[in-house]
Structure 1
Amino acid sequence: MDVVEQENAERQRRWLKDKKIGEGTYAVVYRGKEANVGRKVAIKKIKIGQFKDGLDMSAIREVKYLRELKHQNIIELLDVFSNKTNLNLVLEFLDSDLENIIKDRSLVFLPSDIKSWMAMTLRGLEFCHRNWILHRDLKPNNLLIAADGQLKIADFGLARDMADPGHKMTWSVITLWYRPPELLYACRYYSSAVDVWSVGCIFAELMLRIPYMPGENELDQLKTIFRALGTPTEEDWPGHTKLPNYVAVGQFPKPPLRDLFTAASADALNLLSKCLIYEPRKRISAKEALSHPYFFALPYPTHPSKLPKCSTRQDTPPPLEDENVKGKKSKGRKRKLSSPEDGKPSRLPFAKRLDFGPALSPRAL
């Protein structure tokens, strides 16, 4: 046995698989623990044998970027080892995800709670962008929650380095409900602004407790966006009619955000609007968003340890590859929210139901 094989065998013995907690087309996730220590981990077994041309690119990306990114608000890759025809990623174990928390109707969100989740998301994203990495699949079930309440960005299977200006990138990324209009129009030259649009959609979802703009396909997604934000003009977004997949989908007036987000503060609506600007170059950056007045006004962000947690403890595996877009058309998240009337996502303004009680005392994150 050579040195590399010996080292791999030692790594394999260090991590013990326990219960299977998730399975996708290309990967299985197990709850596991570290031998002799007992620390809980998630072990993501990627089935290399499934790919004719070698290792799946999403696995390569995930290992590459998680090795590079060490931050409190990004999931930690603890180890990597191979076993026969499988590649195993050992990741820190996390209790839940933001999607589960949003869907748990027993929980009541305070404005300070939403502010805390937003701050942690933007801190993790700003660190990615500072290191020239695009995530390209931000959504609530890719934002995992640790036992201490810390939010961590996960699933870097669609991430990539920011390209030099003029270098083409694929437009078929980001789950549909969180995909910006430039990608829906097949723009091949884009920036970190695509991730910020996704953050805006997540921000809205935290306030509404339902997906903000849930389209059924690319065309319907554009219509849903334009109904929510108004149809862009050349003045709003110069040059968008020249994008490869541009199609006119009707003229919709721009409704005031206040009509839907009735309980939100003026600062919250201002930040939301800056995340959802049509012109990507004018969209706020993650770094600028962290300096927005929203984060410095009362109530201050809830300390992570005091944030709402799901009423039932869950074993939440790292997101699996087939929950990504993977170059295919995607209808939002794998698990859709439903309304009793027609099985489609409800559009009721749940923000009206939030408990916006007295301002809390300042609690730094």
Structure 2
Amino acid sequence: RGRSNSDPLRGNGAQETFTWKPGLEFGAAHSYLSLEKLGEGAYASVYKGISRINGQLVALKVIRMKTEEGIPFTAIREASLLKGLKHANIVVLHDIIHTRESLTFVFEYVQTDLAQYLSEHPGGLHSHNVRLFQFQLLRALSFIHSRRILHRDLKPQNLLISYLGELKMADFGLARSKSIPSQSFSSDVVTLWYRPPDVLLGSTDYSTALDIWGAGCILVEMLQGAPAFPGDLDVFQQLHKIWTVVGVPSEDSWPGVSQLPNYTPGTLEQLPYKTEDLVQRMLTVVPGDRISAQAALQHPYFSTLPTPIMHLRDTMSIFKVPGVRLETEVRDVFNPGRRIKTSLLPGNTKFW
């Protein structure tokens, strides 16, 4: 999904160009103005817009209605979950507009997403910024997991980044509430590159460890500037990418693995695992051994962050803590003309 970095309405000219009326109601199409298209998918288009109710920038996700199918179930699921999730690191759903032709979700406007941010800064992000982004991602995961909700589609495109550096988890269309521990789900979830080996092997009895694997892959991608396991073809090539790094599991290391539908005994030699301890704990092959989001927040990897950041209210941004800010990247997506100090350049270390 492409997103525009331009934000012409952040200046003083916004009030001169557009007018808003406090008397306008929520839930009405005429209460919002569309400014530009940000992206388009199979079932929906996303526009940058402005609220005529309060003058705020918004993102309008317009879901096309199919007469024979009605409202897509993923849209119903996303709306029902987001209405109950109030957290600084989860995108805010402001309004819902339902017409005969479409269903429109009105979200807070966030300037870019992690995929575009990564593409603007090839070779890996500043290590401090990686730490801030990962902490915010784990905050969001800890919050939804404590409410027995799985996101099930973590990837850089679904993590929005504000100009301050605030990370917002978005796109809950595949999210599910796992209220019964033994409940089985579909194994056809999560974009292939971020799908854990247990799900690739056909397991449908998964839990919060599903999201932890995806978050671990994203951590590696931010550190090295390239996806951790970029399979190109199918499930089996994706498994090959993973086994090349972490080794092929056996019945001794993972009891029951040979009974999973897509399991094939491997002959690949296990390679040295050269990542930080947090990555190792998140990318553990056995799902039950993966670290939880709450435990990951307490990991020494985050010990350099200010202590108050560990005790914020759910709805408070980490950037409210004095001294918390992004460092300048090699190419600053929000200040493209700014020159970079050599001391701030990220390292070139590759994990694999």
TM-score bucket (shorter structure): 0.7 to 0.9
Unaligned residue ranges in structure 1 (runs of 5+) = 1-6, 262-268, 315-349, 355-365
Tell me which residue corresponds to 2:270. Answer: 254
How far the C-alpha of 1:200 sits from its partner, in A, is: 0.7
Distance in 2 separating the partners of 1:75 and 1:58: 17
Tell me which residue corresponds to 2:315. Answer: none
Q: Percent identity?
A: 37
Tell me which residue corresponds to 2:48. Answer: 31
- Kindly indicate whether residue 344 of structure 2 is the aligned counterpart of residue 353 of structure 1: no
Tell me which residue corresponds to 2:199. Answer: 183
Distance 1:307 1:27, change over 3 A: farther
Distance 1:298 1:161, change over 3 A: closer
Counterpart of 1:84 (choices 80, 89, 100) is 100
Q: Deviations over 1:320-358 (max 9, x none)?
A: xxxxxxxxxxxxxxxxxxxxxxxxxxxxxx98526xxxx
Counterpart of 2:146 (choices 130, 140, 152) is 130
Three-state SS of the structure 2 residue aligned to 1:68 is coil
Distance in 1 separating the partners of 2:127 and 2:35: 39
Distance 1:213 1:115, change over 3 A: same
Tell me which residue corresponds to 1:328. Answer: none
How far the C-alpha of 1:283 sits from its partner, in A, is: 0.7
Distance in 2 separating the partners of 1:278 and 1:11: 48
How far the C-alpha of 1:80 sits from its partner, in A, is: 0.3
Q: 2:282, 2:291 within 8 Å by CA — same for their partners in 1?
A: yes
**TM-score calculated relative to the size of structure 1:** 0.76
Distance 1:74 1:106, change over 3 A: same
Distance in 1 separating the partners of 2:215 and 2:73: 25
Tell me which residue corresponds to 1:276. Answer: 283
After TM superposition, list the pairs within 5 Å mapping 1:1-365 onto structure 2: 11-49=28-66, 52-105=68-121, 109-216=125-232, 217-248=234-265, 250-258=266-274, 269-297=276-304, 305-308=325-328, 311-312=332-333, 352-353=347-348
Distance in 2 separating the partners of 1:35 and 1:299: 39
Distance 1:41 1:180, change over 3 A: same
Q: 2:25, 2:53 within 8 Å by CA — same for their partners in 1?
A: no
Distance 1:35 1:135, change over 3 A: same
RMSD: 2.6
Q: 2:124, 2:346 within 8 Å by CA — same for their partners in 1?
A: no
How far the C-alpha of 1:61 sits from its partner, in A, is: 1.3
Distance in 2 separating the partners of 1:48 and 1:147: 33
Q: Deviations over 1:41-99 (max 9, x none)?
A: 000110112x6332111111110111011100000000001122200000010111111
**TM-score calculated relative to the size of structure 2:** 0.79
How far the C-alpha of 1:197 sits from its partner, in A, is: 0.3
Q: Deviations over 1:211-245 (max 9, x none)?
A: 11111210000000000111112222111111123
Distance 1:313 1:295, change over 3 A: closer
Question: Partner amino acid for 1:171?
Answer: S
Distance in 1 separating the partners of 2:94 and 2:305: 38
How far the C-alpha of 1:166 sits from its partner, in A, is: 3.0
Distance in 2 separating the partners of 1:299 and 1:92: 28
Question: Partner amino acid for 1:224?
Answer: K
How far the C-alpha of 1:256 sits from its partner, in A, is: 1.9
Unaligned residue ranges in structure 2 (runs of 5+) = 1-23, 310-318, 336-344
Aligned length: 302
